[in-house]
Amino acid sequence: MKLSDINKKQAAIVCILICVGIIGTYLAYGMITQQRDLITGNNQPENKCQETMFRCFIIEYNQSFTKDALVFPLTDADLKDHPEYKRGMQEAYTSTTEWRDGERLVYEVQDYSGQHVWSFNLCLENYSRSECLSRLKLYEYQGKYFEIRCIPCQLKCW
C-alpha cells in the first residue's frame, strides 16, 4: 500500500509540474511577444484620422480689457482665408448672448485644418513667446475686441 501512495503522490507532483510549466511557458511567451511588439511598433494602434478637429470659441471682450492685453487689429484682408472666424466676429453685432464680467461667447468654430494657429503666429511676429503665452491676446475687428480659444477634440475613427 505504501508503494501505491508514493506513486499517486509522484503522479500528482508530475501533473502539477507540467501545469506550472505550461502556464510559465505561456506567460513567458506573452511577455516576449509584448516586448517585441513594443520594440517594433506592431502593437501600436493605427491612427486612421487624417485631421484633428479643434473647437474654437470666439469671445467678445469689452474695451476695458484692452489696457492689459496684447491687441492686434484685423482687417477683412487678414481674415480673407479664414471666413468662419470672420463670420464669428461679425456675429457679435447681432448676438444676444449675455455679458458676464465684461465678456461673452459670440461664436463657435469647428476647425479641421488648424487654421486657428494664425492667431498665435500673429502674436509671435510682434512679441516674445513668453509674452504671447502669458498675456491675454485680443483681436480688434471693426471696433470690437475678441479672443479666440481653441481646444483639440477627439474624433471617432473607424
Which range of residues forms the domain containing residue 22? 1-44
Identify whether residues 58 and 134 lie together within a single domain.
yes
Whether the per-residue pLDDT at 3 is higher than 60: the answer is no
- pLDDT mean over 32-40: 56
Identify whether residues 137 and 75 lie together within a single domain.
yes
Identify whether residues 8 and 74 lie together within a single domain.
no
* pLDDT number for residue 158: 42
Identify whether residues 59 and 38 lie together within a single domain.
no
Tens-digit pLDDT profile for residues 84-93: 999 999 999 9
Tens-digit pLDDT profile for residues 55-90: 889 999 999 999 989 999 999 998 888 899 999 999
Q: Does residue 100 fall inside a structural domain?
A: yes
Q: Does residue 24 fall inside a structural domain?
A: yes
Tally of domains within the chain: 2
Q: Does residue 158 fall inside a structural domain?
A: no
Nearest one of 73, 62, 154 to 119, comparing CA atoms: 73
* pLDDT number for residue 157: 44
